Structure 1
Amino acid sequence: MALLPWVMAGAAMAEPGPSGLPPMLDLAGTGTDPAKIDYTLLPELSGTCTLVTQGDATWQFRLHNYLAFFDGKYWCMWSHGPRIEDHPTQHVRYATSTDGVKWSEPQEIMPSSSKEGFRYIARGFWVRDGKLLALASHDEAYNEKGKVHFFGKSLQLLAFEWLPDSGTWRPLGVVFDDAINNFPPQKLATGEWAMMRRDHLNNVSMLIGGVESPLKWESRPVFDRTPSNAFKPDEPEWWQLPDGRSLGIIRDNGGSKRLFRSLSSDNGRTWSTPELTNFPDATSKFFGLRTSRGSYVLVSNANPAKRYPLCLSVSRDGITFTRMGRLPVPVAEVPSLQYPHVIEHDGSLLIAYSRDKRGIEVVAIQLDEIDRLERGEIVVLAP
C-alpha cells in the first residue's frame, strides 16, 4: 500500500482518504490541522479523581488498567510488576468499589507465572452470559539478548472466571494461541463477539466468535506488520458505526505521530487498507466508545509531544471528532498519563489511567459534562 511519507504528517488532511471517509479530526476553531491545537488551552472537563493503587518498593509497576461494572460493583484490574515494565514475575491484580471512589485492597487474579522468565499482562474484564471473566496474556518476557520484548513465541491469551461463592478466580484455559488482545470483546451486530488481536510479530487481526464457548474463535487478518513498511501497527481498537460498519483505529509505532484507521463493512471479516489520519497521537494506547446518548468519545494522548494531557474527544458520527477537552487530572508537575479505559454507568463515564506507570487512578465525568463539551459550552481558561 502507498503511505504518505512522514514529512507530510504536519499538513492538514482535509480530503477523504482511500476509504472515502472524511477527516478523523475537524475541531471547532482549528479545523483539520492538528498543528494548530494548543493543548494548554483545551477546555477542561469537570470530574472527580481518585486513586486505585500506588506502586511501592517491591512492586513498582502499574499499567494496563481495565474497568467493568458487575454484580453491583466497579472492578479495576492492572498489570502488577516489580520493574517498569513487563518483566518476569509480573502478574495481574484487581480491586473493587461500590461507588468508584473508595477502592478495596488489591487482590491477585493469578500469582506470578510458574514458568521462569514468563509474565502475565492484564487484558481486561469480559462480562459474558452473566459471568465475569478476566483476560490475561502469558509469554516470555525476555528475548535472546536478555531484554524485554513484545512478544514471546509462547504468547497465549488466557481466561479466568470469577467464582463469587468462593471469591476466587478459576482458570478456564486458552482463549487463543499466539494472541494478545487490546481490549475485551464487544458484540457485533450478528450477536458474535469480536476483539482485535496481535500475534507475537505484531500482525493485526480480528478474533470473531466467543458465542459457543469463550475459548472458540476464528481469526480474520486486518494488517500484517512487515519490516519494509513505515507503518508499525500496535494496540488496535474498534467500534461500530451507526450504519453497522466497523471502524478500526490503530496506533502507529513508525513515527507518524498519527492514528491510522481501517473500515469493515462485513462485521470485521475483511478490512480496508489502513490509512493515515490527521488525528494526532503521542504513540500511546487509546480507547473509544459510544455513549448511551449516541455520541462517541475517544480518550487518548492527543498531544504528539508527550503523554500529557490526557484528552477526551467527541464525535457525533463516530468518524470525525469535532471537540476536544482535557481530563481534570490534578498535577504537581507534568506527569505521564497513559493507557485509558472507559466504561459508562449510572449517567457517568469512569475513566481509568496510569500515572507514570506507577499508579492507577480513575476519574468520573458525568454525561452532562460530555454534552457540554460537544456543544462548546465549557469555558477555556488560560494557563
Structure 2
Amino acid sequence: MKTFSLLCFAMLTCNLTAQIAGGFSAVSPKDKEAMAAAEFAVKAHDPKLKLQSIESGERQVVAGMNYKLVLNVMDATAARQAAVVVWHKLDKSRELTSWEWLKAKEAQAGVLKSEFIYDTGPYPSVHATTIVETPTGLVSAWFGGTAEKNPDVCIWVSRLVDGKWTESVETANGVQADGTRHPTWNPVLFQPRNAPLMLFYKVGPSPSTWWGELKTSTDGGKTWSAAQKLPKGIFGPIKNKPVQLPNGDILCPTSNETDTKPSAWAIYFERTSDLGKTWQRTELLHDGLKVSAIQPSILDLGGEKIQAIGRTRQGKVFQITSDDLGKTWGEISLTELPNPNSGTDAVTLKDGRHLLIYNHTAKGRSPLNLAVSKDGKVWEAALVLEDEPKKEFSYPAIIQTSDGLVHITYTWKRQKAKHVVIDPAKVELKPIVNGQWPQ
C-alpha cells in the first residue's frame, strides 16, 4: 500500500511538473479566468481604476491557481501598467496577493507617438501592415483572420480621421466566383501622383501559388473599386511600397518563392506606366539559393541610381543597386546588418538620408529597430521600438509624410497593428560596428 501511494505521488508530481515547467505557464490575455482575475485585482486595489487589457499573463497550479499578470490600467487620464498576482482559491474565492506599478518605459528621442490602430477587431490574428499618405489623410491596411494561410483571412483598412483611427473595414477577400475561398496576403497601399489610391494584395493558398490583385479608391480609402486581377506572372509590390519615377512610371519591388525543395527566393522588379493597365518586368536577378532574398524596398541614391534592400534566409539584410532607375541591376550581396528571415522596410527621406526598419537579430522577431544611413552602405543605430524577448514585432512599413514626419506600422505579437510617429530630425544616432547594435 505504501509503495502504491509513493508511486501515485511520483506520478502526480511528474504530471504537475510537465504541466507547469518552471512553476508558471503562459496564459492567453483573452482567457476568461485570467480576465476575471484581472478585473478582481483592479477592483480590489482601487475601484477608481479602469482595466484596459491584459498585456501578458502566466498561471501556476497551487491549492487553486495563481495568476501572475501585467495589466494595462487607466489611472484617471493616464495609462499605466501594473504587475499583479491573484490567488484563485479552491473555494472559488480570490485574493490579491501582490500589486506593483511598473515604471513607464523611458521615451526615446524623436518618438512623438506610439499607439495601436485598433484595440479589438473581428479577427484574432493580424499581420503585414502597410501605410500611406493620401490627400485626405493617412490610411493603413493589414491582413487579418483566424491565422495566416487560413481561408478566412481578409484585407482590412483603417483611416486616420481627426486624430483617431477608424474601425477597420473588410476591403478585399479571397472568395471566388465558384464559391471557393482562399486567404489574402500582404496588402500594399500606394498613392500615385494625381491618381486614385492603389491597394495591391495577393490571393491564393500559398506564396508559390498566389496571384496579384488591385483595387483603387478615389476618396482616400472610404470606398473601393472592384478587384482587378493582375496579368499572369505579375504580382505587384510583394510586401513593400513602390516608388513613382520622374517620368511617372511606378516601379514595384517584388519577389518569387518557388515550390521546389529548397524553395528558391529571388527578387525582381515590375513596372507600369499606366497605373496598372499594362506591365513590364525584369528577369529574376539571382538564382534564389546562394542568396535567398525576398520582399525588397527601394531607396533613392540620387540621379538614376537606386538601391534595394530586404530580407534573406542567410541571416543578413541583402542589398543590390541599379544605375538606370531599375532597368538593369548589379550583383546581389549581403550587408553586415542581421536579418532573422523576417520582413523589413525602408524609405529615403527628403534630406537624402535613408531609414531602415527591421529586426536587428539573427534569430526571432524581437527587437524591432530603426537604423539611419547617409549612403545606403554605412548604417547607424537610431531607435529600438520593441524589445520584449520571445515575442514577435515584425513586418514593418515606413513612410515620410508631407510634414516631414516618419510613420511606421508593424505587427504587434500577431494580435494588433501598431503605429509610431517619429521626428527624424530629433533621433540620436550611434555607430553600428561589425553588425553589432550599440548598448
The alpha carbon displacement at 1:207 in A equals 0.5
After the TM superposition, which of the residue ranges 164-173 and 199-208 deviates more from structure 2? Answer: 164-173
Is the 2:253–2:296 Cα contact (8 Å) retained in structure 1? yes
The alpha carbon displacement at 1:123 in A equals 2.5
Counterpart position of 1:88:
151
The alpha carbon displacement at 1:240 in A equals 2.0
CA distance in 1, matches of 2:110, 2:423: 9
Q: 2:417 aligned with 1:337, yes or no?
A: no
Q: Provide TM-score, normalisation by structure 2.
A: 0.65
Is the 1:341–1:352 Cα contact (8 Å) retained in structure 2? yes
AA paired with 2:126? R
Choose the corresponding residue for 1:118, options 182, 185, 193. Answer: 182
Counterpart position of 2:298:
238
The alpha carbon displacement at 1:103 in A equals 0.9
Residue 426 of structure 2 aligns to a residue whose secondary structure is helix
Deviations 1:35-77 (A, max 9, x none): xxxxxxxx77533210113566x62221110001113321110
Residue 331 of structure 2 aligns to a residue whose secondary structure is coil
Closer/same/farther in 2, CA of residues 80 and 355 from structure 1, 3 Å limit: same
Residue 363 of structure 2 aligns to a residue whose secondary structure is coil
Residue 75 of structure 1 aligns to a residue whose secondary structure is strand
Choose the corresponding residue for 1:347, options 397, 401, 404. Answer: 404
- Give the alignment of 1:296-335 within 5 angstroms: 296-321=354-379, 323-329=380-386, 335=391
AA paired with 2:410? Y
Q: 2:332 aligned with 1:274, yes or no?
A: yes
Closer/same/farther in 2, CA of residues 82 and 66 from structure 1, 3 Å limit: same
Residue 150 of structure 2 aligns to a residue whose secondary structure is coil
Deviations 1:98-148 (A, max 9, x none): 36x521111111244235251211321121233112111112x2xxxxxxx
Closer/same/farther in 2, CA of residues 276 and 127 from structure 1, 3 Å limit: same
AA paired with 2:156? R
Counterpart position of 2:11:
none
Is the 2:366–2:387 Cα contact (8 Å) retained in structure 1? no
Counterpart position of 1:194:
251
Is the 1:44–1:327 Cα contact (8 Å) retained in structure 2? no
Counterpart position of 2:348:
290
CA distance in 1, matches of 2:117, 2:152: 21
CA distance in 2, matches of 1:327, 1:298: 12
CA distance in 2, matches of 1:365, 1:167: 26
The alpha carbon displacement at 1:352 in A equals 0.2
Is the 1:135–1:184 Cα contact (8 Å) retained in structure 2? no
CA distance in 1, matches of 2:340, 2:383: 15
- Give the alignment of 1:128-139 within 5 angstroms: 128=192, 129-139=194-204
Closer/same/farther in 2, CA of residues 349 and 233 from structure 1, 3 Å limit: same
Closer/same/farther in 2, CA of residues 312 and 347 from structure 1, 3 Å limit: same
CA distance in 1, matches of 2:431, 2:351: 14
- Give the alignment of 1:148-163 within 5 angstroms: 149-152=206-209, 155-163=210-218
AA paired with 2:396? P
- Give the alignment of 1:100-111 within 5 angstroms: 102-111=164-173
Deviations 1:172-211 (A, max 9, x none): 51334234422232123443210122245244221022x2
Closer/same/farther in 2, CA of residues 279 and 259 from structure 1, 3 Å limit: same
AA paired with 2:252? M
Q: Provide TM-score, normalisation by structure 1.
A: 0.74
CA distance in 1, matches of 2:294, 2:257: 11
Closer/same/farther in 2, CA of residues 165 and 344 from structure 1, 3 Å limit: closer
CA distance in 2, matches of 1:327, 1:176: 40
CA distance in 2, matches of 1:164, 1:188: 24
CA distance in 2, matches of 1:362, 1:174: 30
AA paired with 2:217? W
Counterpart position of 1:64:
128
The alpha carbon displacement at 1:329 in A equals 4.3
Q: Structure 1: 5+ residue runs without aligned partners?
A: 1-42, 142-148, 377-381
Q: Could you say what the CA RMSD is over the residues aligned between the two structures, in angstroms?
A: 2.7
AA paired with 2:117? V
AA paired with 2:352? G
Is the 1:179–1:197 Cα contact (8 Å) retained in structure 2? no
Q: 2:269 aligned with 1:206, yes or no?
A: yes
The alpha carbon displacement at 1:325 in A equals 2.7
% identical aligned pairs:
16
Is the 1:335–1:356 Cα contact (8 Å) retained in structure 2? yes
Counterpart position of 2:311:
251
Residue 177 of structure 1 aligns to a residue whose secondary structure is coil
Closer/same/farther in 2, CA of residues 174 and 199 from structure 1, 3 Å limit: farther
The alpha carbon displacement at 1:276 in A equals 2.1
